[in-house]
Amino acid sequence: MDFNLTEDQLAFREAARAFAEKAMTPHAAKWDDEHIFPVDVMKEAGEMGFMGMYTPEALGGMGLSRLDTSVIVEELAAACPSTAAFITIHNMATWMVASFASDDLKQEIVPKLASGEWLASYCLTEPGAGSDAANLRTKAVRDGDSYVINGSKVFISGAGATDILVLMARTGAPDSGYKGISTFVIPADADGISYGKNEEKMGWHSQPTRMISLENVRIPASNRVGDEGDGFAIAMKGLDGGRLNIATCSLGGAQAALLRARNYMHEREQFGKPLAAFQALQFKLADMATNLVAARQMVRLGAFKLDNADPEATLHCAMAKRFATDACFEVVNEALQLHGGYGYIREYPLERYLRDLRVHQILEGTNEIMRLIVARRLLDDGVAEAIQ
């Protein structure tokens, strides 16, 4: 196995770093403070190809691997984890349409999403169906050449500011579980759609989060993605990559926090010598770096498994998401601690990174659900080799 990045991946990393330092880093604190959704910057990201990273080239994307994508996303997240996270959600929704929609629907929608001209929201979670996603109640009823959709979604990133909703709704009987769910593409301004207030969140201030209500929303049947009943499987396939994406956002935030802590230890003096001279703090920095590198390797292994259609890709994506989001949050927390009181004030970005990374342990499946996925797979007979 070769753990070195390829020449292409190094080029992707440098391009993403240059873009992030120019277009994101100088503005991230203002976006956070004023709750600004930087649509103009996302359009610039689209010009770089970053809004369709693993969307096929034939549909306007870059056609990259998930490993290539992780290298790019980490650099974007080092500048602003919140904005980078929305970019990854958009990429996940775009890939789902590009992979499973009809040819006509793909050609109509995907190029505009991949270019950043249109933005997409991923709509799965409901008031009574968070971790229990198969229990969703939003209903889509076939009526001739249309579907009529009623229900509500909550905690939807970008809601009210995006152009397309990639939405899961029940087309089967109420008790049909995951087998009765289908996926739809819905114009975000369709008649019958209304949006709730922008939620006041702990972090992720640079992207709006709203409830979406759908009342007799009528869309063409051709806007269904895949066959009836395939929606849950499509959503879960999207989430394998989504979990790696959000784990990668944690890597970027932790990397930025670690470097700031290292630099601060050289600058700050106490008791007549720099913090870097205290062995206890050296050990703390060493543990932070070790955990960050371990998390990065787990994420890249998960990406490798997904790129190669490994039968245990879901398992590895779940493990990577759980470990990386937990470990990287602790790296940022320790970086804040090393800054002392300065880490707690908004002049320094540590508290913003801490707030932004905290939600990564919750979304795209809580880390408790990640543990459940791993445990159930390992307890199946004959799958001990899955982690070898």
Residues 6+ apart with CB under 8 A from 169: 136, 138, 139, 140, 147, 149, 151, 181, 182, 184, 231
- Point out the catalytic residue in the list 74, 126, 351, 364: 364
Number of alpha carbons in the 13 Å side-chain half-sphere of residue 2: 4
Burial 98-118 (b: 16+ CB within 10 A, else e): bbbbeeebbeebbbbbbbbeb
Q: What's the CA gap between 262 and 31, in Å, rounded?
A: 26
Q: Tell me if residue 364 is catalytic.
A: yes
Q: Would you give the DSSP letter of residue 279?
A: H
Question: At 29, is the secondary structure helix, strand, or coil?
Answer: helix
Which of 157, 156, 123, 148 is CA-nearest to residue 235? Answer: 123
Task: Please provide residue 282's backbone torsions phi and psi, each rounded to the nearest 5 degrees.
Answer: -60, -45
Q: DSSP character for 384? A: G
Q: Could you please report the per-residue DSSP string of 243-257?
A: HHHHHHHHHHHHHHH
Q: Active-site residue numbers?
A: 364
